[in-house]
Structure 1
Amino acid sequence: MIRNLFAAALLAALAAGLLTAAIQHFRVTPLILHAETFEGEGGHSHGTEAVAAEHEHAEGTPAHTHDAAAIEEWAPQDGFERTAYTTLATVLAAAGFALVMGAISMFANIPITFANGFLWGIAGFVTFSLAPAYGLPPELPGMPAADLVARQVWWTGTALATGAACLLLAKTRASWAFAVAIALVVVPHIVGAPVAPDEPSAVPAHLATEFAAITLGTALVFWLVLGTVFGKLNDVFAARSATVPTGAIA
């Protein structure tokens, strides 16, 4: 069973990852590239005093220079290289989420099937995309953002609380379970996500809105495909195992 679950998870991740990467290539990446053209136009600026101070060195003192090319962080080149790395990262992320889904399925004793795979996908979307995005919407390059660690902590807490609420409702329909689930979903948003600094940004508002909408739409497709394909493959592998006699090589 574990072998079948693992194989179903990886194959479902491959399907969802490749489809999502294709959507990102045609719909998401162009928005990111467009936003990158605005970077540096509305953020912090460095005055001429700072530039001059960088080159001031006392006579006889070794010059302390910085080669911009040497300290610049590596990034894939636009085109095939960027697309390839994005696709690889998306497929690996899909594999991770699929394995988490499989582990939760085993822990909660709720098999992932073709009949409920859609619901697993909806739960994944709400847990990892929709609920966190309510406080931390997807951001484009050049937009002001809160402290990274604070955002990661809040995102993780929100995902865990929302996922626990979905799992609780999947296991029981008692009235107390609904009350606890609502509390789990609401509490992170009462606490509030880290607030981005009030800094100017040259990124147009319509571009940021379009990016957030397309990103969430892409995430919805990703989770629905992942859950549905995962469930279908689980059914196929389970049926195949049932037809193999005990002790026979599958």
Structure 2
Amino acid sequence: MTIQVQQRAANGLREFGRMCAMGLDIILAMFRRPYQVREFVQQFWFIASVSIAPAILVSIPFGAVISLQLGSLTSQIGAQQFNGAASVLAVVQQASPIVTTLIIAGAGGSAICADLGARSIREEIDAMEVLGVSAIQRLVVPRVQAAVLASVLLNGLVSVVGVLGGYFFNVIIQGGTPGAYLASFNALAQLPDLVVSSVKAVIFGYLAGVVASYRGLNPKGGPKGVGDVVNQSVVITFLLLFFVNTVLTALYLQLVPAKGT
């Protein structure tokens, strides 16, 4: 039993190392010609088209839940004047990039993994390599770039919708004051809050694209293996997402002083 656990751990570390190596190869390939502009545009449009509606629909309840929970808490401790800042910062810094990447990984990333997996089991990837065409540069790079750009743009959209949803529920449902909501936001929010949200979106989108591409290029067991790697790519992306988000949040809170301190 112990030997099996050790073997699984070693295999997991080996796979993680290969995925990291592929991530570095993707970054290097982004700066090499020829650039796959048409493929990039097609992939971006596809990811955006399948992600924009779910992202908007999910961001509304996210903003509402955060606003209602914080509104109830601030009312209990007599700090209603800070409800706007707390709600907006929670949406912009945490909820928005996470929601965006979850949608992209679940909708766009799974499609990328399935597409590359189908190409792999049909031996199209091997044929490209035999012909001297880099599958990383031709297929993976435009998909990863599309995931990153879609993540950044959707992150901004989700932030706006989430903030508006929080404002609506706080002012209309809980009877908050619009002026106090906006004043507390202006008093505590700062530009680095938006910057760190965008940085998270870039990193998370990149991770979603790399994981989906890596698993798609390494299926095992035919069509059933493609289905397995699609599920694995989504789960792995979620795990990496929350781990990296914790690290980035801790670094941000340590390095960037809060406004007014």
TM-score scaled by length of structure 1 = 0.31
Structure showing the higher helix proportion among its residues: 2
Which gives a bigger RCO, structure 1 or 2 (Cα 8 Å, sep 6+)? 1
TM-score scaled by length of structure 2 = 0.30
- Computing the radius of gyration from Cα coordinates, the structure with the larger value is 1
